């Protein structure tokens, strides 16, 4: 079990703003030993289906870089594996839940999430970091007169929570996740409404009382994640 932090503590976080100068907004998001570059770029090449709805569009891409894991992850040169596709769809869905696409109707924004080092919680770190990159992007676009209002109407964040040997743990690292009886990933907006819950009983079924405890524990962690916006001037 944990020695360095309490069961409801998140890992140490470090954020480096503007990590990728060629993007419109970017962060290096470090949560413990999990490190993800999240970088947003924008273009005027809005997909036809969005043009027909008189909105812009927002999507995400996700990848584990080969050296981010032990053993090495195979580089996705031609076709992404199913896990990467599922995660990038989750990131895109989560971000769009916080964005008013009608306020960016001339623009198509892509947020790339590249995992430099994986030690548990890469998808949740990607969602949280991607939203920060998006906020920086929209702020810059408003400063440059490309937008008249910020389309990010409700920031989103995500965190993992699980049960390990009967203990509800927040923000699992890889060693904890590999032992978890129950494993959840929870996404919320800044009003603490639930956007998505992904989870399963890895080793056993669980009851509503356990689910409610895990959601409450996740909310505590997500509150801390939203506090990072002011701390880092995002």
Tens-place pLDDT, residues 155-196: 999 999 999 998 999 999 999 999 999 999 999 999 999 999
- Range scoring the smallest mean pLDDT among 4-8, 143-147, 184-188: 4-8
Among 157, 133, 141, 150, CA closest to 19:
133
Least confident of 40-44, 122-126, 201-205, 210-214: 201-205
Question: Is pLDDT above 70 for 98?
Answer: yes
pLDDT at residue 82 above 90? no
Residue spans of beta strands (DSSP E) within 70-193: 108-117, 156-164, 167-170, 182-189
pLDDT at 33 over 90: yes
Domains and CATH numbers, the chain: 13-231 (3.30.230.70)
Of 68-82, 86-100, 161-175, least confident by mean pLDDT is 68-82
| Mean pLDDT calculated for residue range 202-223 | 95
What is the predicted pLDDT for the residue at 4?
Answer: 82
Question: pLDDT at position 107, please?
Answer: 98
Judge contact between 38 and 19, C-beta under 8 A.
Answer: no
Q: Are strands 156-164 and 182-189 parallel, antiparallel or unpaired?
A: antiparallel
Given a cut of 80, is residue 129 above it in pLDDT?
yes
Res 78: pLDDT: 66
CB 105, CB 54: distance < 8 Å = yes
pTM over 0.85: yes
Show contacts of 17-21: CB within 8 Å, 24+ apart.
Answer: 17/136, 17/232, 17/233, 17/234, 18/136
CB 181 within 8 A of CB 202: yes
Residue 40's pLDDT band, with cuts at 50, 70 and 90, is: very high
Look at residue 1 in the predicted model and tell me its pLDDT: 58
């Amino acid at each position: 079990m944990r020695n360095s932090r309490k069961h409801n503590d998140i890992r140490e976080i470090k954020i480096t703003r503007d990590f990728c100068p060629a993007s419109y907004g970017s962060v290096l998001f470090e949560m413990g030993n999990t490190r993800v570059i999240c970088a947003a770029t924008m273009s005027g090449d809005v997909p036809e289906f969005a043009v027909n709805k008189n909105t812009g569009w927002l999507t995400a891409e996700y990848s584990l870089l080969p050296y981010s894991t032990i053993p090495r992850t195979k580089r996705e040169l031609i076709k992404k594996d199913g896990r990467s596709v599922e995660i990038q769809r989750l990131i895109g869905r989560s971000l769009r839940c916080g964005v008013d696409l009608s306020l960016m109707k001339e623009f198509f924004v892509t947020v790339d999430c590249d995992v430099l080092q994986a030690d548990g919680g890469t998808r949740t770190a990607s969602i949280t970091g991607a939203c920060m990159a998006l906020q920086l992007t929209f702020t810059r676009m408003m400063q440059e007169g490309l937008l008249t209002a910020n389309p990010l109407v409700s920031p989103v964040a995500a965190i993992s929570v699980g049960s390990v040997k009967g203990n509800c743990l927040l923000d699992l690292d890889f060693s904890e996740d590999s032992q978890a009886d129950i494993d959840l990933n929870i996404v919320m907006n800044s009003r603490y409404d639930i956007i998505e819950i992904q989870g399963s009983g890895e080793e056993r079924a669980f009851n509503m009382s356990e689910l409610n405890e895990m959601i409450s524990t996740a909310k505590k962690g997500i509150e801390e994640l939203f506090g990072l916006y002011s701390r880092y001037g995002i």
